[in-house]
Structure 1
Amino acid sequence: MGQALDPIRRYLDEIGVSPLLSADEEKHYARLARKGDEPARQRMIESNLRLVVKIARRYINRGLPLLDLIEEGNLGLIHAVGKFDPERGFRFSTYATWWIRQTIERAIMNQSRTVRLPIHIIKDINACLRAARRLRQETERAPTVAELADHLGRAPADVERLMGLHKRVTLRSNGQGDDGPVDRLQARGSAEPSQCAHRDDVNEIVDHWVWELNDKQREVVERRFGLHGYRRETLEQIGAEIGVTRERVRQIQLDALKRLREMLERNGFSGDAVFY
């Protein structure tokens, strides 16, 4: 055990000497990095290696050794440095956390021995889960298999088979009690690993683009999802407040989410991972 920990200790000792950047330093180096300055890019990476370790530790016992988790997280960090725009106004750590988690969770899904389903099946299951969430948002009730099948353009029998697999994997994971990587393929119905974003991180980012919606779209999104001090409200409640029908609120919401997803995706985020 001690021998196994030695490389980890050495790595932690090595990265511990890299000082964290202040907000002003972060913007300075990020601007240089965007212009192709390699030392600035390296400084951004080295100053955030401890963030990767902090996040990687949360995935211990998910099927990959800690050093492998750190290595995957570092790849996400490097990608984040390449895509980060300091002019957006949010801290790099917020942006990088999303990419670090994404690469770690993808690695767990792809490499862990405890994964029993092929990746293409897992993707199909997650497509069903995303469709179910969207339809539930629109109708405020659980969709039927027929509605899911129609939304996805698949045969009802295919949807039933995929959701049956999802249920069996979820039950098996719960029975093992190890919170495994198929995790939550997903007992909580979260987005697929390659699109997983945690609300605490994403809300700060979304906030920068919500204000680009028109006033009515912004108010509907804020009320519908409980943003900016609002409590979550139903379509009927929102309609009564802003003086339009329930169906009109639903259409405003769909238009607003479409615009938000487009803006997020243009800036390197997965729109489907935001309002889950």
Structure 2
Amino acid sequence: MRELKISKSYTNREDESMGRYLNDISQIDMITGKDEVMLAQKIKMGDTAAEHKLVTANLRFVVSCAKKYQGKGLPLSDLINEGNVGLIKAAKLFDQTRGFKFISYAVWWIRQSILAALNQYARMIRLPMNQQLGMTEIIGATQKLEQNLEREPTLGELAEYLERNENKLADFICCNVKINYLDDHIPGGDTEDNTLLNYLPDGDGNGTERWIGEEQLHFNIDKLLHNLTPREKRIIILSFGLYGQQPLDYEDIAREINLSRERTRQIRTEAIKKMRKLNKADFLQEYA
């Protein structure tokens, strides 16, 4: 009985702490796009006060992002903490000259931090032991390479470090990593905003703003690929450069899977038609 009361007291303290935090950040003034540009310029000159202001002005968005990952193994407070780590990193790296709003850039860093924590802690419970060891090894190698290279490693670099076949490594990651999004960073690009969305047509000229609304809507790749055959899935992965692979054209994909260029195009078209049946795949209509 005493243990139950202690647990309840602890839970109440957590709730009170979270309530105070949410109340505190709700009082922070929002900033304009012009403010973001000015703050980013100051941050590049080493102004820590500017960095603090840019970060605190966007703490509410981190909470919004974190809530989407509740029920996956970590409490909301931990998800928010991890998201804040990503927000701080984004503030340090934000390039205001590219014309994007800060939050459109920061959303990847926020999610990356949250997803890394979920992969490291929550998913270990659900994976069989051999897959736990495999994913643990991949995550550890990725972190070491990122520290040494001061950037995210490419799939090729990761495969070389692990002494694994690149294609087999890509397949393993594809089968086991369940949390991946179309606006997640594609390793090996020249810029931090190198995402799948950048490979999609942009008819209205709004760049990533066309896809990232107020809630920064994202699309779960696994759900889009779920109903595809293994061959269709492979073609889509190679075509869009998913899971760290470089996007390939029809000829390269055809050589990879030992089919003709035309047959590869037909399978790709059929796969995208299947994906379009999902409400979340409407943006692929121009590819079919």
Q: TM-score by structure 2 length?
A: 0.48
1:180-215: CA deviation from partner (whole Å, max 9, x where unpaired): xxxx623xxx6xxxxx4533999xxx8x989xxxxx
Q: Which amino acid aligns with 1:227?
A: P
Greater relative CO (CA pairs within 8 A, separation 6+)? 1
Question: 2:108 matched to 1:108?
Answer: no
Out of 41, 58, 71, the residue aligned to residue 31 of structure 1 is 41
- Taking the aligned partners of 1:60 and 1:17, their CA distance within structure 2 comes to 24
Instruction: Structure 2: state its 5+ residue gaps.
Output: 1-10, 140-162, 205-234, 236-248, 256-288
Q: Structure 1, residues 16-45: CA drift from partner, whole Å, max 9, x if none?
A: 111111000110111111110111111001
Q: Does 1:62 align with 2:66?
A: no
Relative to structure 1, is the Cα distance of residues 153 and 40 closer, same or farther in structure 2, using a 3 angstrom cutoff?
closer
Cα distance in structure 1, aligned partners of 2:100 and 2:12? 40
Q: What secondary structure sits across from 2:202 in the alignment?
A: coil
Structure 1 residue ranges, 4+ long, deviating more than 3 angstroms after superposition: 1-4, 115-120, 123-126, 152-156, 196-202, 245-251
Instruction: Tell me how many residue pairs correspond in the alignment.
Output: 171
Contact 1:98/1:197, CA 8 A, preserved across alignment: no
CA deviation vs aligned residue, 1:248-267 (integer Å, no higher than 9, x gap): 9989xxxxxxxxxxxxxxxx
Q: Is the 8 A contact 1:52 1:100 kept in 2?
A: yes
- For the pair 1:199 / 2:157, whether they are aligned, the reply is no
**1:121 is matched with which residue?**
134
CA distance in 2, matches of 1:122, 1:7: 34
Find out whether 1:80 has 2:90 as its counterpart.
Answer: yes
Q: For 2:177, what is the secondary structure of its paired residue?
A: coil
In the TM superposition, what is the alpha-carbon distance from 1:110 to its structure 2 partner? 1.1
Tell me the secondary structure at the aligned position of residue 69 of structure 2. Answer: coil
2:185 touches 2:194 (CA, 8 Å); kept in 1?
Answer: no
- Residue type of the partner of 1:114? I
Contact 2:25 2:59 in 1 (8 A): yes
Q: Which residue of 2 aligns with 1:227?
A: 201
Matched residue type, 1:247: E
C-alpha distance 86-185 of structure 1, shift in aligned 2 (>3 A): same
Matches within 5 A, 1:132-143: none
**Could you say if the C-alpha distance between residues 226 and 70 of structure 1 is closer, same or farther in structure 2, counting changes exceeding 3 Å?**
closer
The CA distance in 1 between the partners of 2:250 and 2:13, in whole Å, is 63
Residue ranges of structure 1 left out of the alignment (5+ in a row) = 127-151, 168-183, 191-195, 211-220, 235-244, 252-276
For 1:94, give the aligned amino acid: S
Task: Provide closer, same or farther for how the CA distance between residues 67 and 82 of structure 1 changes in structure 2, counting only shifts above 3 A.
Answer: same
Sequence identity, in percent? 29
Counterpart CA distance in 1 for 2:254 and 2:110 is 34
8 A Cα contact 2:120 2:136, kept in partner? no
Q: Which amino acid aligns with 1:53?
A: V
The 3 A distance-change label for structure 1 pair 28 and 50 is same
Aligned mates of 1:72, 1:34 — CA distance in 2: 24
Tell me how far 1:155 sits from its aligned partner. 11
TM-score when normalising by structure 1: 0.50
Relative to structure 1, the CA distance from residue 200 to residue 102 in structure 2 (aligned partners, 3 Å threshold; closer, same or farther) is: closer
Helix, strand or coil: the match of 1:99?
Answer: helix
Q: Give the 3 Å change call, closer, same or farther, for CA 23–200 of structure 1 in structure 2.
A: farther
1:98 aligns with 2:108: yes
Structure 1 pair 248/67, CA: closer, same or farther in 2 (3 Å)?
Answer: closer
Once residues 95 and 7 of structure 1 are traced to their aligned partners in structure 2, the CA distance between those partners, rounded to angstroms, is: 29
Cα 1:36–1:229 shift into 2, 3 Å: same
